[in-house]
Amino acid sequence: MATQTQVYLNSLDLDEESWELIDPHNEQVSMPISALKLAENGKLWISYGDWDENLMRFGLNSELLLSSYSAGAQIEEFRAGTNGMGFNPISRIHEFDNQIYLCTWGDGIARWESGTWNYFYPNSIGFPRITSSMAAMDNSLWFSSGNIGDHLVPKGTLGVSKFKDGVWQNYDIHNSPLGSDNILSIAVDGQDRKWFGAWDTDYINGPWFPAISILDERDDSWKRLTKWGIAEYNEGVWSGYLPGSARILGNTVGGMAKDQHNNMLVLCYDDGVSVINSDLEHLSDFQLPGSTFQRVLNAYHNGRQYFLRYRV
């Protein structure tokens, strides 16, 4: 039997004098319990996570996602990113044909096999709340789940999803170099690189990184375009900002758009507009004249004129 943070054991005769409080983990703080399963072999599986009724999702401020408790108080712990473990909380634990299955909140279904967790991802979009969408030159469709602001929202702020040839692929900060799960806008440049614009953030549970993540699927490379310059991702590590590389006015990205000269207009919310060419070089910056705020969200180029929509 589990309460919100504690686990009790008793024999099947439910002797009221024989309830035993156990410690199913070695953490120094109490952990919210999301699921509990006693397997046929007597091993007890416990997962951790809090249900947020306002956000309609599980959350957990710890790397410990799961533990098992065996006879003799033997504890085995499974942390995010270890033994094949994913990064999202577990909502249910099931046993089928003597195998343990985990229902996760964002990583699909996992099964324990030969000392590691193997994940089975559903072929579906990664979120029900869509902020922006874009068709790429390779006939793929892209969707983002963002928010104006740096906080979690119900069923949103869950990254980016791609759909092509009947297959979905989902990107977030855990399974890719994507900088943030709060992606407000998507754009595709003249070289079919995908640009993902994020909000500048103070969100403590991220780690979310602001500004723009750029994916080039031709060589599966990633770059960051920020107000400090451009950084490159290589073998799991981000480089320092490249000397002399392009910069944008601000890291809060309200939107992005490609003009008919293959330049990218980066709409830096509250800062103005930065123009980057197809070689990722900085061309210019400008602000809306006579406007109290520079809160630009959309841009369109008809070949002769630029149209900008902004908030007042």
Helix (H), strand (E) at residue 104: strand 99-104
Helix (H), strand (E) at residue 76: strand 74-79
Q: Record the tokens describing residue 98, joined without a space.
A: 């003597």
Residue 292: alpha-carbon gap to chain centroid: 34
Shared domain for 17 and 160, answered yes or no, is no
* 8 Å CB contact between 119 and 107: yes
Shared domain for 64 and 185, answered yes or no, is no
Shared domain for 116 and 138, answered yes or no, is no
For the full predicted model, state whether its pTM sits above 0.95: no
Burial class of residue 77, CB neighbours in 10 A (0-12, 13-18, 19+):
middle
In a domain, 180, yes or no: yes
Shared domain for 171 and 302, answered yes or no, is yes
Domain boundary among 120, 154, 182: 120
Shared domain for 141 and 57, answered yes or no, is no
Shared domain for 202 and 233, answered yes or no, is yes
Shared domain for 142 and 291, answered yes or no, is yes
| Per-position b or e across 130-140, b if 16+ CB within 10 A of its CB | ebbebebeeeb
Shared domain for 136 and 284, answered yes or no, is yes
| Average pLDDT along the chain, 312 residues, taken 10 residues at a time | 89 79 88 94 94 86 93 89 91 94 91 91 90 95 92 87 96 93 94 95 76 96 97 95 97 95 96 96 94 90 92 81
Shared domain for 147 and 19, answered yes or no, is no
Domain boundary among 120, 149, 181: 120
Number of domains within the chain: 2
Q: How high is the pLDDT of residue 213?
A: 98
In a domain, 127, yes or no: no
- 136 bridge partner residues: none
Shared domain for 225 and 260, answered yes or no, is yes
Domain range for residue 258? 132-311
Q: How high is the pLDDT of residue 206?
A: 64
Domain boundary among 120, 153, 187: 120
Other beta carbons within 10 angstroms of residue 286's beta carbon come to 14
In a domain, 237, yes or no: yes
Place of tokens 């103005």: 272
Q: How high is the pLDDT of residue 138?
A: 93
Shared domain for 201 and 235, answered yes or no, is yes
Place of tokens 């910056």: 285
In a domain, 300, yes or no: yes
In a domain, 2, yes or no: no
| pLDDT tens readout for residues 207-241 | 889 999 999 999 999 999 999 999 999 988 999 99
Q: How high is the pLDDT of residue 245?
A: 97
Strands 183-188 and 194-198: antiparallel
